[in-house]
Amino acid sequence: MSTVVLLLFTGLGLGALYFLVAAGLSLIYGLMGVLNFAHGAFLTLGAFAGWEVARRTGSDDWGIFLLSLLVGAAAGAAFAAFTEFVLIRRLYQRHIEQLLITLGLSLAAVALFDGIWGTDPVFIQGPAWFKDTTEIFGARVPNDRFVCIIAAVLVLLAMVFFLKNTRYGMIIRAGVENRSMVTALGIDVRKAFTLVFTIGGAAAGLGGVLASHYFGYVSPMLGGSLLIFAFIVTVIGGLGSLTGAAIAAVAVAVLQQFANFYLGGTGDFVVVLALALVLLFRPSGLLGRTS
């Protein structure tokens, strides 16, 4: 029982990280048709920015941790906004070329991070409470899991509120469904593009700081490894669906944890298998639009 609970919470924590990356990816793809390979770089930059805050202040209390979350999110958002505004926008409607740009950017960015912070992982300290455990049904769950889960739930709620209750949220939902009709109603949809990129970048940057605490280190490869699972999550959840991304993120991460423990470390393999099954029986994903 305690093992199951521990695996569940570890899976939920990992699922929270997947969601923070996949949410932006899914919205960006849904609205703009851009598969954003640079999303991992947004995350990595956020993680390093958060780590720099902790390192420069030399402190590991809660205030600094919250500040590092803020700085990480801001760094991710700024990088993402730059990407959309300077690079992606020039290739409006050319989806593959936009993808290629993000690909080149991710190569260049990761190499630059290598140059600045080195290729080796740097270890990170959070508030001491993170390393403690909380007992739930006999399982001793590390506290950093809860931080990830709570943060992701808050981000999900904030995004849903934004999408449901603001004019830009409405434009984004409409644009995911039928972008050209939004422009044909006299709306400049490009503003929504920048906005979606910025929001996605902020979520990824936040995810980066949290991931560095979840794994205990930051490295230039951090974003890339999470990105691939986030891709799988967005495909399983249905491209363009935020709720789909949330459900799929949890499902994928929990499945991965259980398979790793009970099926001899086959977690990654089982996830790919799940992807194959979803594609065979529901090619548009769990909550994706049918095409």
Partner 1 sequence: MTTDTDASGVNSAGTGASQGTSTPGSPAGLRQTAGDGRSAPPAGPRLTRRRILGAAAGLAGVVLLVLLPLLNLSLPGVLPGPTYTPGSLQLLAMCMLMAAAALTYHLLLGVAGLLSFGHALYFGAGVYGLAIILQNLDIPLLPAMGLTLLVVIVLAHVVGSISLRVSGIPFAMVTLAFAQAGSVIVGRNPDGTTGGDEGLSLRTENLPDFLVGVVNTRNLYWLALAVLVAVFVVVTWVQSSRAGHAAAAVRENELRVRVLGLQPYLVKLLIFVVSAVLVSIIGMVFLLLQSGAVPRAISADLTITLLVMVVLGGVGSRWGAVIGGVFYTILDQRLTTLANSDAIDTLPDILRIPLSEPLFILGTLFILVVLFLPGGLTGAAQRLAERRNRRSGTRHSTAASREILEESA
Partner 2 sequence: MTAAAEPRPILRIERLNAHIAGQQVVEDVSFTVPAAGITALLGRNGVGKTSTIKAIIGLIDRTGAVELDGVRIEKESTYKIIRSGVGYVPEDREVFSKLTVAENLRLAERDDAPRRQLVEELFPDLVARSGQMAGTLSGGQQQMVSLARALLNTNKILLVDEPTKGLAPKIVAEVAETLAEAAKTVPILLVEQNLHVVRQLAEGAVVLSGGRVVHTGDALEFLDDAELTQRLLGVSADPLAEKSAGKGAAL
Angstrom distance (rounded) from CA 48 to CA 46: 6
Is 122 a residue that touches partner 2 (CB under 8 A)? no
Rounded least distance, CB 34 to partner 1, Å: 8
User: Of the candidates 13, 212, 226, which has an alpha carbon nearest to the alpha carbon of residue 123?
Assistant: 212
Is 188 a residue that touches partner 2 (CB under 8 A)? yes
* Interface with partner 1 (CB under 8 A), residue from 192, 235, 246, 249: 235
In what helix (H) or strand (E) does residue 133 lie, and over which residues does it extend? strand 133-136
Pick 64 or 176: Cβ nearer partner 2 = 176
Is 91 a residue that touches partner 2 (CB under 8 A)? no
Is 184 a residue that touches partner 2 (CB under 8 A)? yes
**Interface size with partner 2, residues (CB under 8 A):** 17
Q: Which does 235 bind (CB under 5 to 8 A by kind): partner 2, partner 1, none?
A: partner 1
141, two tokens: 């769950």
Is 52 a residue that touches partner 1 (CB under 8 A)? no
What are phi and psi for residue 222, nearest 5 degrees? -55, -50
* Interface with partner 1 (CB under 8 A), residue from 17, 231, 258, 259: 231
Is 165 a residue that touches partner 2 (CB under 8 A)? no
Angstrom distance (rounded) from CA 279 to CA 114: 36
What are phi and psi for residue 266, nearest 5 degrees? -100, 20
Subset of residues 77 to 116 that bind partner 1, contact rule: CB under 8 A: 87, 90-91, 93-97, 99-101, 103-112, 114-116
Cα four-point dihedral sign 234, 239, 240, 241: negative
Is 290 a residue that touches partner 2 (CB under 8 A)? no
Q: Tokens 């001491």, residue?
A: 128
